Amino acid sequence: MALIDRVKERTGAGLPDSELQAMIDSITAEIDARFGPAGAVTVEIGDVTDPCSRDLRTLRLNRPLDSSQPISIVEIDPGWSGNAANTVTLAANDYRVMHGGRTLARLWDGDNGQQHWAPLVRITYTPKEAPGVRDEAVIRLMQVDLSDKGGLKSERAGDYSYTLTTGVERTDAREAVFSWLNGLLGAGGMSMA
């Protein structure tokens, strides 16, 4: 089922498809801005000015990698170099994926074996994500956005009364969805361990 149809079914929205699609696109862009785009990402890590970075044997990924997808790791030594001769593309036997895809250990007995990582490492990988988790976040955010009745929080018919929202509740509800998504995706990027 298409995402727009799932949104209609779960929210009961009566807006035109073009308006719903614009809202979906906006929310998707916001998710991508916070967590990085879905699919393969490229990250360069390392501190070429820190001599201690040469002593690192493991790299930590904030978003675990999907080992069933292609992985490309390039070491650049010296890190400040733009010369292609100073880059080495690692083979699969030059590193080990550990801790559910969150840690990369450098192996010394591979094709390009070294005991430590180079001062600058470029990795291209696909972060591991549960299927449909971004779509679920879009639907939950659409529910929050579509439930906003222009500041009206509640109404009562007998002896008519109403309560207005402060805007904080909507923001808190949206942030709760982003916190839930962060728990599943993790923050973007990669750091040296």
The string of pLDDT tens digits covering residues 144-182 is: 888 765 555 666 777 776 666 666 777 888 999 999 988
Give me the pLDDT at residue 188, please: 45
How many domains is the chain partitioned into structurally? Answer: 2
C-alpha 92/C-alpha 155 separation (Å) is 62
User: Per the confidence metrics, is the pTM higher than 0.75?
Assistant: no
C-alpha 115/C-alpha 109 separation (Å) is 9
- Tens of pLDDT along the chain (193 residues)? 899 999 999 988 888 999 999 999 999 999 999 888 888 989 888 877 776 767 789 999 888 899 999 999 999 887 777 777 889 999 999 999 999 999 999 999 999 999 999 988 999 999 988 788 999 999 999 998 887 655 556 667 777 766 666 667 778 889 999 999 888 876 544 334 4
* The pair of three-digit structure tokens given for residue 69, joined into one six-digit string: 């997808």
Q: Which residues form the domain of 74?
A: 41-125
140 located within any domain: yes
Same domain, 114 and 179: no
Same domain, 16 and 56: no
Among 130, 59, 72, smallest CA distance to 98 is for 59
106 located within any domain: yes
Q: How do beta strands 58-61 and 120-125 pair? A: unpaired
Same domain, 57 and 11: no
User: Which of residues 78, 110, 125 is at a domain's end?
Assistant: 125
